[in-house]
Each structure stands twice: as structure tokens, then as C-alpha cells.
A and B are shown apart, each in its own frame.
Chain A
Amino acid sequence: MTLIEHKPLRAKASRPPYGLFALAAVGVTFLVLPLVGLLVRAPWRSVPSILRRSDVTTALRLSLETATISTAFALVLGVPIAWCLARARFRARSLLRALCTLPLVLPPVAGGIALLLAYGRRGVVGEWLLRAFGVSLPFTTAGVVVAETFVAMPFLIVAVEGALRGLDPRYDSAAASLGASRSFTFRHVTLPMVAPGIAAGAVLCWARALGEFGATITFAGSYPGTTQTMPLQVYLALQDDPQAAIILSLLLLAASVAVLVGLRDRWWSR
């Protein structure tokens, strides 16, 4: 008697309440509809001609280059930060983590202003850079890389720190007990084991850098060929050439979808 009553109960419990289903459906529609709008209203016929336009190819090339260089910088600087946050024992660790992930939540335009005040011609460091080396970052492609690295590196740090935390520190201890130096252990034991995490972080970082707008336009300005990346061109095109803006947005959407497909093993299969 009790068994018969239990069975349907268990089946019910494994299914979420209908209210949740309804809300989830509304939520999914809300998220997906804008993308559908982009696809439905896209002037498909003019896609080939717009994609061949030299201003579009220039912006696309600039975006791909700067996002890739930014990701390289983020790897070189961000992996060590992630290691410190995951492994090193020191008091200010939570403070350091908060500081390093600040650009994740900071409005990008505010980030751009902060960058100007630090690395601009009159900035805290920028003034010295100009005097000592004659280097001025704003309005240069290097400035775009600085802005993109600033905004995107935290994505890599968070992903790599997570991977490092999931790694059993006893592997390190085992390597050390066999006489491996700390740097040898890091290069030959730790790094290979968290490589998938680093790859995922790099892809996320690259995608974020590719879409960067606010910090770039504030810090690096907007000039075709030097600092006008795809998102800046989308914004500019929306004013006087909305058709081109839609197609360029589609291009960025395609890049984002490619990133998600690339990450499918990490996110989808679970």
C-alpha cells in the first residue's frame, strides 16, 4: 500500500513544478528572441557586398588581431595571477581576487576613463611613459590592446583559478618529493593538467576582447584601421547605415556561436 503511494510521488518530485517551466520558457524566449530578430530582419542579399567592403574587412582584421594579442597578454599575465589566487597563501588574497576581477563588474566606459587617467598622456604612468620612452597609448592599436586586456583578462583569471582549485595539490607534492623544482613542477605537472581550463579561459577572454566597446572607445578613440574595431563600427554604422550594422552584428554573433561550440565539451556535456 505504501509502495503504491510512493511511486507516483517520486516521479512527481523529480520533475520541477509547472510554474518553473513556464517562467523558464518566458526567460528562454526573452533571451533568444533578439537573436531571432537579427536573423529575420537581416538584409541577407547585401551580405556579400557589405562583407567585401574595405572598411568592414579592415575593422574585422583589426578586431581579430587585437583580440588575439590581448588574449596572449592575458595568458602571460593572467595564468600567474590565477596560480597565486589558487595556491599561494597570503593574507590579502581575497582583496587581490576582488581587485583582479573588478573589470568584470566595472562598467567598461568607467574602465576606459580609469585607463586614461593611468596610461593617458597626462596619466599617472602615461606621463612618465611619454617622457621616458616617447610612448603614448591612447589613439593607437596598442591602446586598443590595453583596453581589451584590461576588460577581458579577468575572464581568464576566473576560469584558470577554478581549474587550479579543482586540481589535487598532492600532485605538486609528489613531484616535489621526487626532487622537481617549483618551476619544473609548475611547467611539467600543474600546467598540463589545467590546460583544458586555460584553453577555456583563453577562448572566453578572446570572445570578450572581440566584443569590447566601452573601454576601447573611451581610451583608444575611434579611427578606421587603427582603433575602430568591429563593435565600434557597428555603433557607428547604426547611425547612418543600419543595414551594415545588422550584418556586422551577425558577424559578431557568428563568432560568439563559434566560441560556444568550441567550449561545448566543457559546458554542454555536463
Chain B
Amino acid sequence: MIRRALCVVAASALLAGCASSGSKSATASGDKGAVKGTVVVFAAASLKPTFIELATEFEAAHPGVKVVASFGGSDTLAAQIRQGAPVDVFASANTATIATVVKADDARAPTPFATNSLQIAVARGNPKHIVSLGDVTASGVKLAVCAKAVPCGSAAEKAFAAAGVDAHPVTLEQDVTSVLTKVELGEVDAGLVYRTDVKAAAGKVDGVDFAQASEAVNTYPIAQITTGKNPNAGKEFVGFVLSPDGQSVLRAAGFEPAA
């Protein structure tokens, strides 16, 4: 009881501090003590390690607030939101997917917060000597990519089109982490994933850059979702991701700033 009381005091003191400094997050939070409870965040699978870190920092900065995050293919998450899942914040891996949620009146205007590009994930030491997008389409190379409906899949399709090669993947996975897992387990020789995924799996896979990656850059938008039960905390979390602190976490993970 006393501990909880202390938490409340600490939280309001912190909010008061924010308010007096006149920072962006304070204006977003509105009245004092509004940011509390649980904030539900849905984020693209490729954001998983980064958003877990962001959530931890957010919780540290807002005592009493708990972030519950769920990760998956952007389109799967968007479908769940359209079905009424109680979500406060949605961060998608491309603008087209979040647009379906906005169109259904379930989201406020999304803001781009990062960009990401593809890399070829290969087994450590690159035993198949893959150096270009043409190499992954060679016979004898098992390739995994995302399904077209998922952002990483549409980006892969764009990259292959830019390279002018026909890809023959052995599987079309539902999200980017499934592609990475198949590479890590050695079931495929190459997988098209985001460079941030390769970075997060450092030591388990190697990343190979390819020229056409610049033709398929994904912009990650974030939006507050209207089906959520905690709009104040949702707004605050979006503000935190866009803040310099949030952005530096994203940079460290390998995300590029949004244009």
C-alpha cells in the first residue's frame, strides 16, 4: 500500500518535472497523472528487440505504467486491429498496411518514425559465397522470403524486380522472423530480411548487402489506435518513440531516420 502510494507520488513528481521543462512529451500527456495503467503496443516482427528496449525505457520513465507488446507480421496485426483488438499503439513495417487500419477509422494519422532496408541473411561464414541478389536465385541455393502480403515480402518483390531476376523461394513465410529462423536453423541457405534483423542476430547469421536494397526501403509508421483503452498512455508512447531518446534506440538497432 505504502509502496503503491510512493509510486503514485513518484509518478506525479516526474510528470510535474516534465511539465515544468515544457518538453514535447509533457504536452502530449495532457493533465497530470494521466499516464498510468497498461499500454498495449502492436509492432511489426522486425521491431521486436528494439521495441522491447523502448518499452523498458518507457516503463522506467513512467513508473506505474506497464507496456504489453505483441509482435507479428504487420498484416496479421492490422487484421486483428480491424477486428477490434484493444490496442493503443500500432507500429507497422510499411505505410500500406497501417493505411488499412486508418481507412477503417481505427487509427489516428500515422507518423513515419524509421526506415529499414533489406539484406541477405546467410549462414555464418557465407558457405554458399552469396554476394548478390542474383546468387540467391541460383539453383542449389534454398531461399526463404516473406509472403507478398507482408511488408518484407513486398519489399523483396520490389528488390527482385529492380535486379531483374526471377526468385524461386522454397517458402513464403508469414513474418520476417520466421525467415530469419529458417536461416539460423540452416534449413535455407539465404533469406531476405531487414538489416536490423541481421544485426540483432549477430553471431548466428551473416548479412550480405546488395545493390537493389535502396530500391526497396521500408518506411515504418506509428499511430495511436482508437480501439485502445488507454489513449493517454498510447499518445505518450508514440511521443516517446518519436523523441530523441526513442530515436537513438532505433539508430543503435540499425534503423535509419524517416525521411
Contact = CB atoms under 8 A, between A and B. Distances in A.
Contacts of A128: none
Contacts of B144: 221
B182 A222 contact: no
A240 B75 contact: yes
B105 interface: no
A104 to B, nearest CB: 25
Interface in A212-227: 217, 221-224, 226-227
A236 B171 contact: no
Contact of B187 (A116, A222, A240): A116
Interface in B22-57: none
A254 B172 CA distance: 28
B96 to A, nearest CB: 10
B258 interface: no
A239 B75 contact: yes
A139 interface: yes
A116 B147 contact: no
B95 to A, nearest CB: 16
A206 to B, nearest CB: 25
Given A236-B147, A239-B75, A239-B149, A223 B186 contact: no
A228 B174 CA distance: 12
A111 interface: no
B73 A223 contact: no
A187 interface: no
Contact of B172 (A223, A238, A240): A223
A139 B173 contact: no
Contact of A121 (B73, B147, B149, B186): B186
Contacts of B149: 236, 239-240
Interface in B77-104: 79
Contact of A122 (B75, B172, B173, B187): B187
Contact of A239 (B79, B142, B169, B182): B79
A154 interface: no
B9 interface: no
Contacts of B131: none
Interface string B204-244: 00000000000000000000000000000000000000000
The contact size tier of chain B is 20 to 34
A217 B178 CA distance: 10
Nearest to A140: B170
* Residue among B75, B142, B186, B187 with the highest chain A CB neighbour number at 10 A: B187
A221 B75 contact: no
B97 to A, nearest CB: 9
A239 B171 contact: no
Given A121-B186, A121-B187, A138-B187, A221 B171 contact: yes
Given A116-B187, A122-B186, A236-B149, A223 B171 contact: yes
A78 interface: no
B115 interface: no
Contacts of A236: 147, 149, 174
B76 interface: yes
Given A121-B186, A240-B149, 13 more contacts: A116-B185, A122-B185, A122-B187, A221-B171, A222-B173, A223-B169, A223-B170, A224-B172, A227-B171, A235-B174, A236-B174, A239-B150, A240-B75
Cβ-closest 9 pairs across A and B: A221-B171, A139-B170, A239-B75, A122-B186, A240-B149, A239-B149, A138-B187, A139-B171, A223-B171
19 contacts: A116-B187, A120-B187, A121-B187, A122-B187, A221-B144, A221-B170, A222-B147, A222-B171, A222-B173, A223-B170, A223-B172, A224-B172, A228-B172, A235-B174, A236-B147, A236-B149, A236-B174, A238-B79, A239-B149
